[in-house]
Amino acid sequence: MSKLTDVPKRILIGRALRSDRLGETLLPKRVALPVFASDPLSSVAYAPGEVLLVLSIAGLSAYHFSPWIAVAVVVLMFTVVASYRQNVRAYPSGGGDYEVANTNLGPRAGLTVASALLVDYVLTVAVSISSGIENLGSAVPFVVENKVACAIGVIVLLTLMNLRGVKESGTLFAIPTYVFVVGVFTMIAWGAFRGFVLGDEMRAPTADFEIKPEHPGLAGFALVFLLLRAFSSGCAALTGVEAISNGVPAFRKPKSKNAATTLALMGLLAVTMFCGIIALAAATDVRMAENPAKDLIHDGAPLGADYVQDPVISQVAEAVFGHGSILFMILAAATALVLFLAANTAYNGFPLLGSILAQDRYLPRQLHTRGDRLAFSNGIVLLAGAAGLLVWIYGADSTRLIQLYIVGVFVSFTLSQIGMVRHWNRLLATEKDQAKRHRMIRSRAINTFGAFFTGLVLVVVLVTKFTHGAWVALLGMCIFYATMTAIRKHYDRVAEEIAAPEEPSDDSVRPSRVHSVVLISKIHRPALRALGYAKLMRSDTLEALSVNVDPADTKALRAEWERRGIDVPLKVLDSPYREVTRPVIEYVKSLRNESPRDVVSVIIPEYVVGHWYEHLLHNQSALRLKGRLLFTPGVMVTSVPYQLQSSEAAKKRARKRQDWAAPGSVRRGPAERAKETSTPT
């Protein structure tokens, strides 16, 4: 719509737009799967181990419950996937759980979900990186010996990458994710083949250990509680499932359908891998304990503090592929990489959610702007700082971090599903078409079951994990909730204050006259330009204003003024204390006092320089004066910039900054389609 009358510029701008759009092509399913699934799929690297760890408390005999727990997790996974397939169809706008809860259950529920998700992003980084380091450590012992340092190193690396603006690339995500998936399936298949067909006895490296149970012979309520705890730990496999519901706009058309298909595929893969690993662990006699140092016994003696417990997936891989084999190495590397990519998704998701929250005025408005590098940077640094702190406090121990993780996930699952039930109820109240009603009733049934089941799991998680660390996550949620509420309150208060009145009230009395004042220190090009501009503006009065800081300089200025015959009156203010700000402010106020309906336009010549250190050397008193003038009623402040040669450098930098790719832009989808209205299918 802009008036581009010259062809070269139009071509140039056209080009610029096209190059922007390059990175925002829509994702086909085969690329969308790895982009969104690295987070949920990577969960199977730690979830099976967590189940065994908890069971070991009751001793080796409790291991035979592991298939039942796997079944429970599978049922839960199918429930959640089925529920979210309803979500992506009903809310294709990418707002995800937050949007669903906010729309259907009100802003408090929405904000609760948002707080839970923000905490989850922090924990995704902390848990995924810790677990990735543990997996890498099973192949490269050095890494696990310097666990905390390596984990923080990876966080720093990811942070720098995202601050620099490395674009999330489908291909980059696809390779390790596919290698990981194919590797795990190969392992399961080869393990099954060796076990069933060849009849090999595969033994995990820990198969010879005995477990000293902390609470031997648990029974009754205590046993049920333990099994529930093991189940909550297994639920770690579900983390990240909600990611696709935030990314619908990035899919090719039909968006919702493709997203739902991808979701189903992802659930199927995750469940198969999870069960396969649990089964292989049982077949190869993997032994894990919460405190391996004292509870794992070898030849009658505890293993001691030096023993490093490898993740279940690497123990199984060692048993199936053989110790130090090339396939074992590849799988370990792919597992670590996919976990790091899962951490990276949080770096993309955090600003994405931030921009949605900013739109609803729960976070600073600038987060809403796409590609606002400064705002995104703050978010990324906050995320990395919080995750780094957790990694440091918890010694990069994924098992201890997972205790914090699951509660947030199930808060958002549950509220989102309850919201969906309301959503269908609302639609059903008006829908007449029987076929559509039928589909809606079916969807509502799925979501109702989902809400019930995930709510139950949330209660189980809260009860079994609260003292183990879930309270930390809840505390984090409360902090986010309180901060966002305060920000929203502030915005609401300001909006009320500045709301335009219907009738012009005494506050907005139309000003009647404008006095223009050009600030002059010396006669130089910037000053002449400012005078030239000021004369064009035809205000009621125009004068040049100088502050007498140094009598000799002022005398020279007056003489030069007359010599050049400048046709604007020059007024000089005395300043016995060499101040500039105060005399100008007082003078401006005195101009206005003559009539309250007068307006003063203060015109300030400024140089524009290109480097921050040059900036230190210039314009400081002009800046300070501008700052003070903004607090003076009835004043408008005009900067007339004069571009010095060195400012070219800054201009180029600013352009470059603008072309920066914000994290999360691939999964957010192209911007113009982000506002598609929601249509139930």
User: Which sign, positive or negative, has the C-alpha torsion 555, 556, 561, 563?
Assistant: positive
- Cis amide linkage into residue 254, ω under 30° from 0: yes
Closest of 5, 26, 507, 569 to residue 250, by C-alpha: 26
Which residue, 480, 499, 477, 500, is CA-closest to 488? Answer: 480
**Pattern 653-672, a second copy, x by CB under 8 A:** -x---x------------xx
Q: Which is nearer to a second copy, 163 or 573 (CB)?
A: 573
Q: CB of residue 559 vs a second copy: minimum separation in angstroms?
A: 14
Site for a second copy in 491-510 (CB under 8 A): 491, 494-495, 497-501, 507-508, 510
Judged by CB under 8 A, the number of residues near a second copy is 112
537 binds a second copy (CB under 8 A): yes
Residue choice 74, 446, 527, 544 for contact with a second copy (CB under 8 A): 527
Contact between 166 and a second copy per CB under 8 A = no
577 part of the interface to a second copy, by CB under 8 A: yes
DSSP conformational letter for 198: I
CB 662 within 8 A of CB 376: yes
Residues 539-558 that bind a second copy (CB under 8 A): 539, 549-552
Alpha-carbon distance of 404 to 411, in angstroms, equals 12
Within 8 A by CB and 6+ apart from 531, the residues are 518, 520, 544, 566, 568
Distance of alpha carbon 657 from alpha carbon 5, whole angstroms: 27
Cβ proximity of 517 and 588 under 8 Å: yes
Asked whether the beta carbons of 348 and 246 are under 8 A apart, the reply is no
CB of 20 to a second copy, least distance (A): 6
In the range 4-33, which residues lie near a second copy by CB under 8 A?
4-6, 9, 13, 17, 20
For 400, counting Cβ atoms within 10 Å of its Cβ (0-12 exposed, 13-18 middle, 19+ buried), the class is middle
Q: Work out which of 425, 541, 590, 679 binds a second copy, going by CB under 8 A.
A: 590
Ramachandran category for residue 140: left, alpha or beta (phi over 0 → left; psi -120 to 50 → alpha): beta
17 vs 326, beta carbon nearer a second copy = 17
Taking the complex as a whole, the smallest distance from the CB of residue 223 to a second copy amounts, in Å, to 52
Binding segment (CB under 8 A) for a second copy, from list 77-85, 309-317, 401-409, 590-598: 590-598
Residue 650 touches a second copy, criterion: CB under 8 A:
yes
Closer residue to a second copy in complex, CB, 146/539:
539
Positions 351 through 390 that interact with a second copy (CB under 8 A): 364-366, 368-372, 374-375
Beta bridge partners of 600: 515, 635
Stretch of 172-180, 271-279, 292-300, 607-615 lying at the interface with a second copy (CB under 8 A): 607-615
Strand, helix or coil for residue 602: strand
Q: Which of 425, 593, 595, 679 touches a second copy (CB under 8 A)? A: 593
Rounded to an integer, what is the distance from CA 555 to the centroid of its chain? 60
> DSSP character for 568?
S
Provide, rounded to whole angstroms, the least separation between the CB of residue 507 and a second copy: 7
**542 burial level (CB within 10 Å; 0-12, 13-18, 19+):** buried
Tokens of 315: 């123990």
Q: Out of 323, 434, 576, 612, name the contact with a second copy by CB under 8 A.
A: 576
Q: Binding a second copy by CB under 8 A: which of 199, 326, 594, 612?
A: 594
Interacting residue with a second copy among 490, 541, 555, 556 (CB under 8 A)? 490
Of 304 and 504, which CB lies nearer to a second copy in the complex structure? 504
Q: Identify which of residues 426 and 525 has a Cβ nearer to a second copy in the complex.
A: 525
